[in-house]
Every structure is written in C-alpha cells, then in structure tokens.
Amino acid sequence: MTAATGQPTATRPALRHRLAERGIDRALLLLVPGLIFIAVLFLYPFLYGVGLSFSPQQGGGPFANYRKFFDDPYLRNTLWTTFRLALPAALINVLASIPMAYKLRRPFRGKRTLTTLLVVPITLGTVLTAEGLLEYLAPAGWLNKTLLALHLIDQPIELVHNYWGVLFSLIITGFPFAFLLTMSYLSGIDPTLESAAATLGAGWRERFRFITLPLLAPGLAITFCLSFVLAFSVFPSAFLVGDPSGRTRVISIAAYHAALEQFDFSLGSTIAVIMTVAMLIVIAAVLAWRGTLYKGASGGKG
C-alpha cells in the first residue's frame, strides 16, 4: 500500500484489486500476530543461537565449538548414543504398529476403548513413565519377580539405569503414537481395493504385499519421521531411567549440561544446532525416499 501512495488516485484501487486477485488483502492482517510471535520467540532465538554457536566463549575462531564437539569423544559419542536409542525405538514402534493396525483396522466392539487406553501413556508423559519404570523394572520389581517365579531367569536382570530402561520408556510413550498414526493412515485406504484383489484370488499375503503396503508406505514414512523426532529428543527419561553420565548420555543432556550447568551458552547452542541438523538429515533422507513412492489416490477419505 505504501508504495502506491504517491500514485495518481485512479491507480490506487487498481493496485488493490490486482493484489486482491493474487490473494493479498486486509484479511491477511489476521496472520500478523501469529507471524510476529513465531519470529520473536522462535526464529529470533534460534538464529541467535546459531550465531552464538559461531562465537565461542573461549575464542579460537568461529568453528572452535564445532571442532570441540567432534574432537572430544565425550561430546561426539553423545550423537551416536542418541542414534543408537532413537533409531531402534522408532523402528520398533513403527514395525510393531503395522501388523497390529492391519489386524485391528476394521470396526469392532471396544475399538474406541482401545484407542482411549492407548492415549494414556502419551498423556502420562516421560517423567511419570520413568518413575513407574524405575519401580516396575527394579531388581525387586514386579517384572523381575514374575520372571523369577516363572523360572525364566535365575537372578534379577538389570533393566533400569542403563540403555534398556530408556529404550523401554521410549517404546511405552512412542508406540501408542505410532500405532494411532498408522491406524489413521490405514483407515484412509479404501477397503474395496483389497476386496477387489480378494475377488481375483489374492491371499492375504499378496493383498498386504501388493495392495495395502504400497498405499501405506508414504504414511509409514511420515510416522517414522515423527516417531524418530520424538525418540531423538529423549531427555527426562535418559536422566531418570538411564545412565545420564555414561551409556545413555544423549545429545540433549550434553546440550543442557553445557548451557545451563557450565553456563557455556555458546557451546550449548552449538550442540543444539548439531542436534537439529542431524535430525533434519534423517528426516530429509526418509522424505526423499518417500518421494520415490506411489503418490496417487488411495481411494479412501485420507
């Protein structure tokens, strides 16, 4: 608008109309509060953090923090520790969801109860899950007692304060999420496609392999991405049920430690940036693979 103020009055409505034709009018002002908010509280801090990561507190050139991260094995290994937790957790959650969602995709009595129950662990959150796991999986906890009573093991197995505790907590909070997503993708596939295949004599294996799976695969890619993001940002449970100074020292713990315990905000931001980039690389790879898949209509509501 400001550009048009100097113009003769006859062209002003014309410009307004031309802009309105392209979809720019006063209604877009409604977007402004949201955009300002995102810019001030998300983009600015994030870019500020990126800038901060290139100006190390100890000096040594803009890349000193990044060199430090990749040179220091204690810091570098947090990246692999995180991948070792997040990849298996996301894979288990997605792969277990496929057969279960496939079997339970049709309406049946109690389906709503089942989905309600599945939302519970998502609601409980990681802190409470961790507290519960600490007692349930403890050497004298119910799981070890049951296994001992069934003579499956001779002595209690250690499941908390190590890798397994964190993996279990990631599965308990992550599986319902992956399952519900997979279920909603499956319900977006038209069941008549499968019935048509069945009429032509395809068994359930062929139907699953050649009809359902190809239609489901793009959805599975998204499910995997979201599950991976959830698992990759593991923080409280790595502290509580893990071994936060050793085998489950994940990258978010390293970032927190650097920023808010050593007050090296620059190094903390560096680790946060590395964490974001690593996560985006995985997501980009999965989405690139997704781009090669069938993207046509699946016939359903999805």
Task: Find the binding residues for another protein in span 198-237 (CB under 8 A).
Answer: 198, 218-219, 222, 229, 232-233, 235-236
Under the binding rule (CB under 8 A), the answer on residue 10 touching another protein is: no
Choose the stretch contacting another protein; rule: CB under 8 A; options: 9-17, 23-31, 65-73, 209-217.
Answer: 23-31
**CB nearer to another protein: pick between 127 and 157:** 127
Show the 3-state SS of 136-193.
Answer: HCCCCCHHHHHHHHCCCCCCCCCCCCCHHHHHHHHHHHHHHHHHHHHHHHHCCECHHH
Q: Helix (H, G, I), strand (E, B), or coil: what is residue 299?
A: strand
Closest approach of another protein to the CB of residue 83, in Å: 14
Under the binding rule (CB under 8 A), the answer on residue 35 touching another protein is: yes
Under the binding rule (CB under 8 A), the answer on residue 195 touching another protein is: yes
Structure tokens at 142: 């119910």
In the chain, the amino acid numbered 51 is G
H-only helix segments in 54-162: 64-71, 73-103, 111-136, 142-149
Under the binding rule (CB under 8 A), the answer on residue 64 touching another protein is: no
Structure tokens at 29: 């002002």
Residues 245-274 that bind another protein (CB under 8 A): 252, 255-256, 259-260, 265, 268-269, 271-273
Q: Which residues pair with 299 in a beta bridge?
A: 189
> Using the rule CB under 8 A, which residue among 1, 14, 15, 28 binds another protein?
28
> Using the rule CB under 8 A, which residue among 24, 95, 213, 285 binds another protein?
24
Check: CB of residue 174 under 8 Å from CB of residue 90: yes
**CB nearer to another protein: pick between 64 and 238:** 238
Residues 85-104 that bind another protein (CB under 8 A): 96, 99-100, 103-104
Choose the stretch contacting another protein; rule: CB under 8 A; options: 8-16, 34-42, 69-77, 209-217.
Answer: 34-42
Under the binding rule (CB under 8 A), the answer on residue 128 touching another protein is: yes
**CB nearer to another protein: pick between 37 and 70:** 37
**CB nearer to another protein: pick between 59 and 107:** 107
Of the candidates 233, 240, 225, the residue with the CA atom closest to the CA atom of residue 272: 233
Under the binding rule (CB under 8 A), the answer on residue 54 touching another protein is: no
In the chain, the amino acid numbered 272 is A
Sign of CA dihedral 284, 288, 290, 296: positive
Report the alpha-carbon distance of residue 28 to residue 45 in Å, rounded: 25
Residues 129-188 that bind another protein (CB under 8 A): 129-136, 140-143, 145, 172, 175, 180-181, 183-185, 187-188
**CB nearer to another protein: pick between 104 and 157:** 104
Under the binding rule (CB under 8 A), the answer on residue 6 touching another protein is: no
* Segment holding 50, helix H or strand E: helix 44-53
Report the alpha-carbon distance of residue 200 to residue 171 in Å, rounded: 39
Check: CB of residue 65 under 8 Å from CB of residue 56: yes
**CB nearer to another protein: pick between 9 and 180:** 180
Of the candidates 300, 271, 281, 282, the residue with the CA atom closest to the CA atom of residue 70: 271
Closest approach of another protein to the CB of residue 8, in Å: 26
Closest approach of another protein to the CB of residue 69, in Å: 14
